Amino acid sequence: MQYPPALARLIAEFARYPGIGPKTAERLAFFTLGRQKPEVDAFAQALAQAVERLHPCVACGALAEHDLCPVCVSPKRDRSRICVVERQRDVYVFERSGVFDGLYHVLGGVISPLDGIGPEELRVSELIERVRPGEVHEVILASTPSTEGETTGLFLAQTLASLPVTVTRIAYGVPLGSDLEFADPATLARALEARRPLKV
């Protein structure tokens, strides 16, 4: 015996998501069956509408429902600084923290020759076009710490060198609130390398 077809299909659909194994998929499917029909219809509609309505912001590449994303249209943002991130979702890591009030630029990845990803595959020329008019004074690279991220940073610094803009990179080091004991050697090395004088 198997699941009734409609149930089998729902379980299979949940199981397509990363991190959701067969047992979790079954649990989510049964939870679905215990919900009211309007609630489930709302979920189904949210799925369909999300892929329909969301597309990359024409300026920064972040998620937008209109031509421009909420950050790019906001009159409150500092237009002189652009934070370059790898993926669309990285924008929300910064937004949630509330520590950055400039604009973003989603690269769409990092330079990785082994994976056949060069600058042409990324939104590099779009970044240059945004920086060229001279309004942007600083480009902050916030890629995930990795060799590819470093390469990408160096490439951007070289590419933007002829323009009147400073290219910086977020600091890597020991995270706040964590115990030194848990820091991996690479992070410790970076933290040591980037040490600063204590001013008295």
Residue 138 tokens, joined? 């600083």
- Distances, alpha carbon 74 to alpha carbons 52, 61, 69, 106, 127, in Å: 23, 15, 9, 17, 19
Binding segment toward its own copies, per CB under 8 A, in 69-77, 120-128, 140-148, 149-157: 69-77
Of 18 and 113, which CB lies nearer to its own copies in the complex structure? 18
Give the SS3 label for residue 175. coil
Give the SS3 label for residue 176. coil
Residue 5 contacts its own copies per CB under 8 A: yes
Residue 88 contacts its own copies per CB under 8 A: yes
**Residue 20 to residue 17: CA distance in whole angstroms:** 6
Binding segment toward its own copies, per CB under 8 A, in 24-32, 126-134, 171-179, 189-197: 24-32
Residue 175 contacts its own copies per CB under 8 A: no
β-bridge pairing 55-56 and 63-64: antiparallel
Residue 58 contacts its own copies per CB under 8 A: no
Q: Choose which of 25, 59, 71, 167 interacts with its own copies (CB under 8 A).
A: 71
Supply the minimum distance, in Å, between the C-beta of residue 90 and its own copies. Answer: 10
Question: Please, are residues 62 and 71 in contact by the beta-carbon 8 Å criterion?
Answer: yes
Residue 44 contacts its own copies per CB under 8 A: yes
